[in-house]
Structure 1
Amino acid sequence: MPPRRVVTGRSSEPRRRFAEELRLLRTQKGDSLRKLGEVLGWDASLFGKMESGKTLGSPEVVEALGQHYGAGRWLLTLWELAVGDPTQFKEQYRRYMTLEAEAVSLWQYSVSAPPGLLQTSGYAREALMAGGSKGQELNQQVEARVGRRELLEGEEAPPFRVILSEAVLRTSLRDAYEWRAQLEHLAEAAECPNITLHVLPFRAGPHGLMSTDTMFLRLLNGSTVAYTETDVRGELIEEPSRVERLQRTYDAVRDLALPPAESRKFIMQMLEEVPCDPSI
């Protein structure tokens, strides 16, 4: 195999570099995508998406590719840089947002904040300000986030199932008036025919999604994609086997959550703890 270019933490555009190197390695070995799929045991479309930059694949896939191409640790190092690319969070989130608008059904688990689709303008503003947004940029982001709520409105609105950790309902806003408005909005959303809302109480104990916001989108072509997000990283997951494993974890969490009727009662109880007059 010809010598590779040096891989360092300063490599520019790691995701694009990773995709380019995958195409180069396959071309040099003379493999077709179909042959690669047959040899390694994954669907050929996965390798096509990796080479086009649509997905990064899993470490298991990258390790198998490294062994197949004789690239050893070098390819996995480049993959790790691509995963950690700070620009990738925004790129994958933008793609997720595009897919969200086309989804025929949605599922979500929220760790500490209401999902964007159910946030009031007051909540969105305070949350975005905490993240450093200000001025005109802040106004634009609030407008964009609140505008997403239109997806769940109307007769053709897709079904949306959301699980809220109790932490979502315990992490109040500084503005008591806006916090009350957010809780009221969640209670109203729980009554919408296309929205199924669960609360996961603290007493449910440890589970597989304790620190990760997780979203699933079922698309028109019947496929399902997932998006996971922490404070420092977001990842769009399209590989069917990974999505399926994540869905099983989500289902296990849902089984621990309160039924919809009890969940709404839980929210109403939280509302009783918030004064009607914010000056009190």
Structure 2
Amino acid sequence: MDGEEEPGWEVDPDDDWGVAVVATVGRQLRLRREASGMRAADFGRAVGYGEDMVYKVESGRRIPRPEYLDKADRVLDAGGLLAAMKEDVEKVRYPKKVRELAELEAKAVEYGVYVGLSIHGLLQTPEHARALFEVSQSAYAEAELERLVAARMARKAIFERTPAPALSFVQEEVTLRRKVGGTMVWRQQLEHLLGVAQLRNVTVQVMPTDSGAHPGLSGKIEVLKFGDGTVVGRSDGAYNGRPVSDPKQLRILELRYSTIRAQALSPKESLAFIEHLLGET
């Protein structure tokens, strides 16, 4: 029963879909338990959780852990129906904004992004991501840190999609030189970046610090294209940072991104640059 009250398993009241999922799962658990004739206290002992936690899960106030659903499935002889809920429950744990971004990325056939302040989340190693969260001035508990890192890593499923989307990243030189997490984590991050950059559907370019002014200096730019021909763009420095789909606004963002790519090092030069950074230590 250790760790029952760890943070990161609460339901976000502003996440309507998440609230609905957890409420549905809780209701199914309660109906199955009652149909079996088990009291909450007896069921709790059987799955290794306290009676209070059983009531919290069944009332939709607590997100059940994957192992909770596995044990409940066995104890209530549900034939895999309860365990099958783990996939939706896992998504609920990810912050709403992260989940919405991942859903967009999962549908895109082309994704272009310029990043000036940090290495893009899709390119980060778990250790690099954790180091960034640790210095964010937020007092994250260990479980919450793990939740945030897991959410960021889950987005990397985009690299495993078939057919593979065309992914283009432009990173400022400074983001590659900053030794986030220490020298070992930094080196592992650069090595990971080299590996990703050599995938056939991925292009990584470096924007040298001495390249002068360019359209990305006002913040991150993203352009996502979908199979039905629609496009969504976003820029920290335009349209209040909101996603846009208006053709005129999109043309401006696409032009800015194209200009950035033209000013950056070529993909081949960028790989050589990253290799040179690794060789400096």
TM-score by length of structure 1 reads: 0.61
Q: 1:104 aligns with which of 101, 109, 125?
A: 109
Letter in 1 for 2:211: A
The answer to whether residue 242 in structure 2 is matched with residue 235 in structure 1 is yes
Equivalent residue, structure 2, for 1:200: 207
Residues 125-151 of structure 1, C-alpha deviations (whole Å, 9 max, x = no match): 011122223321110110111121121
Distance change (3 Å), C-alpha of 1:178 and 1:258: same
Partner amino acid, structure 1, of 2:115: S
Identify unmatched segments of 5+ residues in structure 2: 1-94
Give how far 1:211 is off.
Answer: 3.3
DSSP 3-state at the match of 1:237: coil
Q: Whole-Å Cα distance in 1 between the matches of residues 233 and 141 of structure 2? A: 30
CA separation of 1:238 and 1:92: change in aligned 2, threshold 3 A: farther
Report whether the alignment pairs 1:216 with 2:223. Answer: yes
Q: SS in structure 1 opposite 2:199?
A: coil
SS in 1 for 2:206: strand
Structure 1 partner of 2:272 = 265
> In the alignment, residue 219 of structure 2 is paired with which amino acid?
T
Q: Does 1:117 align with 2:122?
A: yes
Alignment correspondent of 1:54: none
Contact 2:98–2:151 under 8 Å retained in 1:
no
Q: Is the 8 A contact 1:111 1:210 kept in 2?
A: yes
Aligned pair count reads 184
Correspondences of 1:122-271 after superposition (within 5 Å): 122-131=127-136, 132=138, 133-153=140-160, 155-229=162-236, 234-271=241-278
1:70 matched residue in structure 2: none
Q: Which amino acid aligns with 2:106?
A: A
Amino acid aligned to 2:134: M
- Percent same amino acid among aligned pairs? 32
Please give the TM-score of this superposition, normalised by the length of structure 2: 0.61
**1:110–1:213 CA contact under 8 A, matched in 2:** yes
After superposition, the C-alpha distances for 1:23-81 in whole angstroms (9 at most, x for unaligned) are xxxxxxxxxxxxxxxxxxxxxxxxxxxxxxxxxxxxxxxxxxxxxxxxxxxxxxxxxxx
Rate the CA distance shift 1:247–1:91 in 2: closer, same or farther, 3 A.
Answer: farther
